[in-house]
Structure 1
Amino acid sequence: MRSTTVLAGLATVLAPLASAHTVLTTVFVNDQNQGDGTGVRMPMDGNIANAPVINMNSDDMICGRDGLKKVNYAIPATAGSKMTFEFRTYVDGSRPGFIDESHQGPISVYAKAVSDFDQSPGGSGWFKIWHDGYDESTKKWAVQKVIDTNGLLSISLPTGMPTGAYLLRTEVIAMQNVTTKADGNWYCEPQFYVNCAQVYVQGSSSGPLSIPKDKETSIPGHVHPSDKGLNFNMYDMKGLLPYQIPGPVPFRPTSSSSGSNAKAALTTPTNFPGAVPDNCLLKNANWCGFEVPDYTNEDGCWASADNCWAQSKKCFESAPPSGIKGCKIWEQEKCQALANSCDAKQFTGPPNKGKRWGDVTEQSSVQVPGVMKGADLVDDPVDTTSNEKANNNVVSIPAAATATTFITTSSAASKPVTTVPSVAITTTTAAVAIPTETAAQNTLIRCGRADKNQRRAMHINRHKRADF
């Protein structure tokens, strides 16, 4: 009899950090859960997975820690799709929560067309597709609105995104520690919670995408320490409103089609770079389990069992902090069941050949909120509903690579995008030093204490302050 080794012990390295912080873990497309961790670039170390980025010059500002590396799979969507991003404090979802309520601030979503997901995500080509800051009508920050929806933020993709590979970058900025000294240097900096999702979009055109120069940006470099929205006292906003959201105003390209063509519904892509393989029996984040070889004798049976355990080992080793639920199912219901059949001298198999489990995290019963109205949602010049004047000063971004031409079918028209007047962004001229990564870590410790003091002061004074 051959022995098998259960790999559940590897789960200990995945224990999520319990803190007041947050990380993007899951993406929904048109309310359909794509699976925890699937297509999402997140830190592999559970102890820092939800920790903020402080250094604005760091490459961690691009897609977060470990965000320069692609993951195996991408998320399929069509231009105009509803995209929902789930943020968690406990990365594996073992407890509810988005972020500590003291960590108020703006939220933005950026996009970048890439030739493939191996392309370096840094540098130019980024544009913002959605943002929200402080809503004076509801007296709520964007962070509070997402706390109210249990950590779920829903937006719509622009309808004019050409077919191809994209990175969607979420940026949550926590402002609770921001204070300044008389010399203009920060005492405590904003906290940036940044992640990227790999998305393959089926659009109505093949590109390239032209982005107005004032809306195309580089990351790092899209925000600066002197930005007014990053030097904002959230505890005393009198005379400081309206709040100016850091970064460029959103750019939402729309389809130039008209008439019946504009109403054509796009088909979700199925064959594209980064697609989950058709023969995937079980998915955990960006890992797939595949059927083991057929066998007709004892040696073949144990060889297939070894194949299964080798796949299981890779599942546990590659699992991000969002969880190992699928790995455990594969280990018990596939590998252990196969080993048991070999022990029972059932040497023709494998048993339950081709059984599919899919991704158990996709089956969660989450109440997905509707699209959240953002601020300054202005569109490109072809959109006659835009509040923005036509701007022909554009920079051309190369089209993302396409692997397959997909068929479109006639259906309902795309949903219109609500626009509001844009707010001009101004910056102060005072130079502010950007901390090194080591200094940033020290700042987190120091500012953690400041955070507690500010929260206590906020609690004491909340009933003393007049409404803003």
Structure 2
Amino acid sequence: MRSAFALALASASAVSAHSMFQQLWVAGVDQADSCVRMPKSNSPVTSVSSNDIVCNASPSPSAGICAANAGDTVSVEMHAQPGDRSCANEAIGGNHYGPVIVYLSAVSDATSATGSDSWFKIGEFGYDASTKTWGTDVLNENCGKFDVKLPSNLPAGDYLLRAEAIALHAAGQSGGAQFYMSCYQLHIAGGSGSVPAGVKFPGAYSASDPGILINIYTGDLSSYQIPGPAVVA
């Protein structure tokens, strides 16, 4: 169980612990920030009904598109400050515990897509009660990186990839959850299947979802329900 002291510490260090997804790796090759729609700041989105929940608040456009193949492993990378990839610093600190979630959206043009198309979930890590490990702990233990495999049967085309961490240190009250997300522009080759059904943002989450409105410091947390749909098969 996270202590009351930890909760107080989380509130006191909230600003310094803000963070953002900034870089991408494709099949082990560092793409740096070449295809990310970089957030304007490392501050979180707090409203699930705002259009900011899609790709963050008016992110800077990217001219680049990262090339990948269906079935590749990609790694999204988060750090607290722009351009700081030092492994000596936590990816997201300040007791900002919560899940990490990755979505894809098939689009006609990754450089101009607004994110209004459907999104399907391809990876997630919520909470492992046996080890008391959150998805954000995985980021901190791996120099900000979280690995996810692109489905092997994806049809070729342009996609947006949405990486998200939800900080739950203040989520015991409505509107207290903090959403940190960035969108990456991809062109995926090699697949021959169909695009999975998905959800829309905003709309996929409710402020009262059990994985969004939750006091993670009450009792011995034995399970956690990750927001959004199931990961596609």
Whether these two folds match at TM > 0.5 is yes
- State the alpha-carbon separation in 1 of the partners of residues 219 and 124 from structure 2: 20
**Structure 2 contact 172–216 (Cα < 8 Å) conserved:** no
* 1:230 alignment counterpart: 212
| Equivalent residue, structure 2, for 1:54 | 46
Per the alignment, in what secondary structure is the counterpart of residue 118 of structure 2? strand
Letter in structure 2 aligned against 1:241: S
Note the 1:362-377 alignment, pairs <5 A. Answer: none
Q: What's the CA shift string for 1:62-105, capped at 9, x where partnerless?
A: 111224x6421100110111101111102121753311140000
Instruction: Find the partner of 2:141 among 138, 148, 151.
Output: 148
- Whole-Å separation in 2 of the counterparts to 1:163 and 1:32: 20
Are residues 1:121 and 2:114 paired? yes
| Aligned-residue offset at 1:241 | 3.3
Give the Cα–Cα distance (whole angstroms) in 2 for the partners of residues 72 and 136 of structure 1: 41
Amino acid at match of 2:120: F
Q: 1:118 to 1:146 in 2, by over 3 A?
A: closer
Question: In the superposition, relative to structure 1, how do residues 94 and 247 fare at CA in structure 2: closer, same or farther (>3 Å)?
Answer: closer
Q: 1:82 to 1:160 in 2, by over 3 A?
A: same
Q: Following TM superposition, by how much is the alpha carbon of 1:237 offset from its aligned partner in structure 2, in angstroms?
A: 4.2
Compared with structure 1, are the counterparts of its residues 32 and 94 closer, same or farther at alpha carbon in structure 2 (3 Å cutoff)? Answer: closer
**What is the match of residue 203 of structure 2?**
221
Superposed structure 1 runs of 4+ greater than 4 Å apart: none
Aligned ranges 1:269-418 → 2 under 5 Å: 379=233
The reply on whether 1:31 has 2:28 as its aligned counterpart is yes
Structure 1 counterpart of 2:57, which letter?
R
Partner of 1:211: 196
Task: Indicate the SS of the match to 1:179.
Answer: coil
Q: Percent identity?
A: 35
Please tell me the root mean square deviation across aligned C-alpha atoms, in Å.
1.8
Q: Which has the higher strand share?
A: 2
Deviation of the 1:111 alpha carbon: 0.3
Confirm or deny: 8 A CA contact 2:106 2:195 kept in the other structure. no
Does residue 106 in structure 1 map to residue 99 in structure 2? Answer: yes
Is the counterpart of residue 40 in structure 1 residue 36 in structure 2? yes
- Greater relative contact order structure (CA < 8 Å, 6+ sep): 2
Contact 1:38 1:73 survives alignment (8 Å): yes
Q: Residue 94 and residue 135 in structure 1: after superposition, are their counterparts in 2 closer, same or farther (change >3 A)?
A: closer
Point out where structure 1 has 5 or more consecutive residues left out of the alignment.
1-17, 181-185, 252-378, 380-468
- Structure 1 contact 42–65 (Cα < 8 Å) conserved: no
1:80 corresponds to = 71
Q: Which residue of 2 aligns with 1:242?
A: 223
Matches of 1:52 and 1:230, distance apart in 2 = 14
Instruction: Assess, with a 3 A threshold, how the Cα gap between structure 1 residues 94 and 82 changes in structure 2: closer, same or farther.
Output: closer
For 1:55 and 1:152, the matched residues in 2 are separated by 25
Structure showing the higher helix proportion among its residues: 1
Q: How many residues align?
A: 217
SS where residue 196 of structure 2 aligns? strand
In structure 1, the residue matched to 2:163 is 170
Q: 2: distance between equivalents of 1:246 and 1:116?
A: 28
In structure 2, the partner of 1:198 is: 185
CA contact (8 A) 1:163 1:200 kept: yes
For residues 46 and 227 of structure 2, the distance between their equivalents in structure 1, rounded to whole angstroms, comes to: 15
**1:119 positional shift:** 4.3
Is 1:71 the equivalent of 2:68? Answer: no
Give the deviation of 1:31 after TM superposition: 1.4
CA distance in 2, matches of 1:135, 1:141: 7
Relative to structure 1, is the Cα distance of residues 167 and 94 closer, same or farther in structure 2, using a 3 angstrom cutoff?
closer
TM-superposed deviation, 1:145 = 1.5
